[in-house]
């Protein structure tokens, strides 16, 4: 019997989670499949367990709740993996809407042996699109049409991806030093690179789209600054530990870019924290400055991945369920 586990992590967002669970309840479980739902709440308990108790179990074989007190989406996902029984692992976020046939279409390439990982599509909810958005803005909000190749994907998006159990076992799970709550992202990118290094196959299914209903607060300038800082931190970590690459003269580069950023901000009208949008030049400067700053700390650490192995050299152990 084909089996799948649907895995979510959530942290302090009961309102979007409620709508996401309502959408999931309307999806179709393919005939003959056994499909479980696993929800892990991260950092603080804010009603997710109570919401899950109202979820209509119906066609699903099991509905499971766990709590991970240690901060980080990757830790929450790793906890879920210790309890997942499916041969197909379906991942999404707590603020999306699903097509009715999402489960079967995302899982089928893995069950048929044509793929080890599936990069599904993510589109932005229409009411959250803005005229000022450019490709990079949309990509940072998880619009997969703006950064994932439909023919040869180099990575997957955590809002809509499927991975075989075998692939996750080879990689050893998600790196707890990456991801929302820690760096702001990067955990699914590293997993994708690990899979490709192992010779596993990724395929893209851009037509199997979920719709991303993120909070409109994420369009505000202050959130773009936070996102760029987190992206730079993830870049530096991946550069040093996974790619085994360095940055020449990082202190000088950080000093020069910091001065350049300050001068350009002085000469340009700067948005208020609650204003929507950010100029692409500022997004890039903040990301690069953050990368140099984090790299200065990371370069003194021993590399956590061997050039000849996929798994982290000193992986963190997942916390126990509550």
The label of the residue with tokens 């040093």 reads 240
pLDDT surpasses 80 at 321: no
Which candidate, 247, 255, 231, places its Cα nearest to that of 299? 247
In this structure, what token pair is assigned to residue 31? 């005939």
Instruction: Tell me the DSSP string of 161-200.
Output: EEEEHHHHHHHTS--TTSSTTTTSS-HHHHHHHHHHHTT-
pLDDT surpasses 70 at 319: no
The label of the residue with tokens 């596993």 reads 200
Bigger pLDDT: 214 vs 308: 214
pLDDT surpasses 60 at 320: no
Q: How far is CA 221 from CA 135, 194, 195, 277, in A?
A: 17, 33, 35, 5
In this structure, what token pair is assigned to residue 111? 């069950």
d(CA 143, CA 82): 30
Question: pLDDT by residue (tens digit) across 117-170?
Answer: 999 999 999 999 999 999 999 999 999 999 999 999 999 999 999 999 999 998
Using pLDDT thresholds of 50, 70 and 90, give the confidence band for residue 25. Answer: very high
Q: How far is CA 10 from CA 47, 76, 91, 151, 272, in A?
A: 10, 8, 12, 31, 29
Question: pLDDT by residue (tens digit) across 249-306?
Answer: 999 999 999 999 999 999 998 899 999 999 999 999 999 999 999 999 999 999 999 9
Using pLDDT thresholds of 50, 70 and 90, give the confidence band for residue 57. Answer: confident
Question: pLDDT by residue (tens digit) across 160-206?
Answer: 999 999 999 988 899 999 999 999 899 999 999 999 999 999 999 99
Q: Please list, in sequence order, all residues whose beta carbon lies within 8 angstroms of the beta carbon of residue 300, skipping any fewer than 6 positions away.
A: none
Under a CB-based contact definition with an 8 Å cutoff, are residues 38 and 84 in contact?
Answer: yes
Kindly report the pTM of this predicted structure. 0.94
Looking at residue 195, what is its pLDDT? 95
Which candidate, 221, 114, 224, 242, places its Cα nearest to that of 175? 242
d(CA 84, CA 104): 18
d(CA 101, CA 106): 9
Using pLDDT thresholds of 50, 70 and 90, give the confidence band for residue 315. Answer: low
Question: pLDDT by residue (tens digit) across 225-257?
Answer: 999 999 999 999 999 999 999 999 999 999 999
Question: pLDDT by residue (tens digit) across 80-117?
Answer: 999 999 999 999 999 999 999 999 999 999 999 999 99
d(CA 154, CA 192): 7
């Amino acid at each position: 019997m084909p089996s799948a586990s649907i895995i979510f992590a959530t942290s302090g967002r009961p309102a979007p989670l409620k709508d996401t669970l309502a959408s999931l309840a309307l999806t179709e479980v393919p005939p003959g499949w056994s499909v479980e739902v696993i929800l892990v709440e991260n950092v603080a308990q804010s009603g997710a367990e109570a919401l899950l108790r109202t979820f209509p179990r119906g066609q699903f074989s099991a509905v499971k709740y766990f709590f991970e007190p240690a901060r980080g989406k990757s830790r929450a996902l790793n906890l879920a993996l210790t309890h997942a029984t499916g041969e197909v692992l379906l991942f999404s976020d707590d603020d999306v809407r699903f097509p009715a046939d999402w489960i079967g279409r995302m899982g089928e390439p893995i069950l048929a042996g044509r793929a080890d990982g599936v990069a599904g599509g993510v589109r932005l909810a229409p009411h959250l699109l803005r005229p000022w958005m450019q490709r990079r803005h949309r990509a940072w909000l998880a619009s997969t049409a703006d950064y994932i190749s439909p023919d040869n994907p180099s990575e997957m998006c955590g809002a809509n991806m499927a991975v075989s159990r075998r692939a996750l076992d080879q990689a050893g799970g998600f790196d707890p030093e990456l991801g929302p709550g820690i760096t702001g992202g990067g955990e699914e990118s590293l997993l994708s690179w690990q899979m490709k290094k192992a010779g596993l196959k990724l395929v893209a299914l851009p037509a199997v789209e979920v719709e991303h209903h993120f909070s409109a607060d994420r369009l505000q300038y202050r959130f773009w600054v936070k996102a760029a800082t987190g992206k730079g931190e993830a870049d530096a970590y991946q550069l040093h530990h996974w790619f085994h690459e360095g940055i020449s003269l990082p202190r000088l580069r950080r000093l020069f870019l910091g001065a350049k950023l300050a001068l350009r901000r002085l000469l340009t009208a700067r948005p208020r924290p609650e204003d929507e949008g950010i100029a692409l030049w500022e997004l890039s400067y903040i990301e690069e400055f953050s990368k140099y700053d984090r790299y200065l700390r990371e370069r003194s650490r021993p590399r956590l991945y061997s050039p000849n192995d996929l798994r982290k050299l000193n992986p963190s152990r997942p916390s126990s369920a509550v």
